[in-house]
Amino acid sequence: MKEVSKLMDYRSSVRVIDATLRDGGLVNDFFFTDEFVRALYFTNIRAGVDYMEFGYKASKELFDSSKFGKWKFCNDEDIRAIVGDNQTDLKICVMADVGRCDYKKDIIPKDESPIDLIRIATYINSIPAAIHMIEDAYNKGYETTANIMAITNAQEGEIRAALELLGQTPIETFYIVDSYGALYPEQLVRIIDMYNEAAAKYNKKVGIHAHNNQQLAFANTIEAVGDGVDWLDATYATMGRGAGNCSMELLLGFLKNPKYNVYPSIQFVEKYIMPLRQAGIKWGYDIQYLLTGLLNQHPRTAIQFTKDSREDYSEFYKELVVRDD
């Protein structure tokens, strides 16, 4: 059980990262209006959020730009059109997926860009390629994180080996990513211990990106806070792929640092997120996402279930169990 002091006090080292545009973009193909993005930017400033993730640096060779909004690609000029010179305390970040971006040409030197942080997303089996991307971004002047995805599909030995390799790079933060929303707090504690051990050895921070398939994204995130995890991802009204993420308004309400202000987040959800729901954009906890979380499976099948407007949950469960075998 956590000490009460760990829940009632705050650490100045905690950083909150808004992933609404990036993870939320996965449910509407990144078609956000500039009004929405600008309002989100100013909301984050008012709420005291530390980093705003604008989206992906995706390859235009691999992804048809006519089928996605501009935040799939995060051209520097598009970001600058929103933030100007960003003379605020809010830092700007983007995600670059191993194998899905042309990082050598699309990520320009930091002194020419409004971006502060490059978040490199990698699976265990692509760590060597991730290291090249980390070193490239660092040499261009950026802060960097390594977001190890689908951590629940990896063996403990694989995770430890990955952290050893990443620890020798210039990244600032190791990220635990519960891609399938499969983790329970008790399991998470053991994973955090591994990450904290490597972070202490290599002078890194630890972060968490949680999904809400089992309605545990917030619980897992605050569990992580109590265990010394400093970098915390959240999205407004949980907007994100499939079951969504840790709720920003819940997280800001929980954190005791007076720099964070929950009221602007409530205003933003009311004015900008709820209309997206009313327009028919779907995300958030539902039975189909619960089932993929329980079975530690990628949510792609549940996403398709949702798109097909299916309601035969028991049949879907049988399909998943057969697939899991």
pLDDT at 205 > cutoff 90: yes
pLDDT score at 36: 98
**Residue in 210, 281, 309 with CA at minimum distance from that of residue 25:** 281
pLDDT tens string 104-153: 999 999 999 999 999 999 999 999 999 999 999 999 999 999 999 999 99
Cβ atoms of 231 and 145 within 8 Å: the answer is yes
Cβ atoms of 127 and 165 within 8 Å: the answer is yes
pLDDT score at 151: 95
- Rounded to the nearest integer, the mean pLDDT of the chain is 96
Q: What is the DSSP letter of 58?
A: -
Judging by DSSP bridges, how do beta strands 117-122 and 91-97 pair with one another?
parallel
pLDDT tens string 247-278: 999 999 999 899 999 999 999 999 999 999 99
pLDDT at 6 > cutoff 80: no
pLDDT score at 10: 77
pLDDT at 202 > cutoff 90: yes
Phi, psi of 119, rounded to the nearest 5 degrees: -100, 115
Judging by DSSP bridges, how do beta strands 205-210 and 231-234 pair with one another?
parallel
pLDDT at 288 > cutoff 90: yes
pTM: 0.95
Token duo for residue 234: 């959240």
pLDDT at 311 > cutoff 80: yes
What are the E-state strand segments in the chain? 15-18, 51-56, 91-97, 117-122, 143-148, 173-178, 205-210, 231-234
Question: What are the C-alpha distances in Å from 23 to residues 10, 72, 236?
Answer: 27, 10, 11
How sure is the predictor about 2, in pLDDT bands with cuts at 50, 70 and 90? Answer: low
Backbone φ/ψ region at 296: left (φ over 0), alpha (ψ -120 to 50), beta: left
Q: What is the DSSP string of 208-274?
A: EEEB-TTS-HHHHHHHHHHTT--EEEEBGGG-SSTT-B-BHHHHHHH---TT--SHHHHHHIIIIIH
pLDDT score at 324: 55
d(CA 104, CA 254): 40
pLDDT at 289 > cutoff 60: yes
pLDDT score at 95: 98
Q: Who's near 251: CB < 8 A, 6+ residues apart?
A: 16, 218, 221, 222, 232, 234
d(CA 20, CA 40): 9
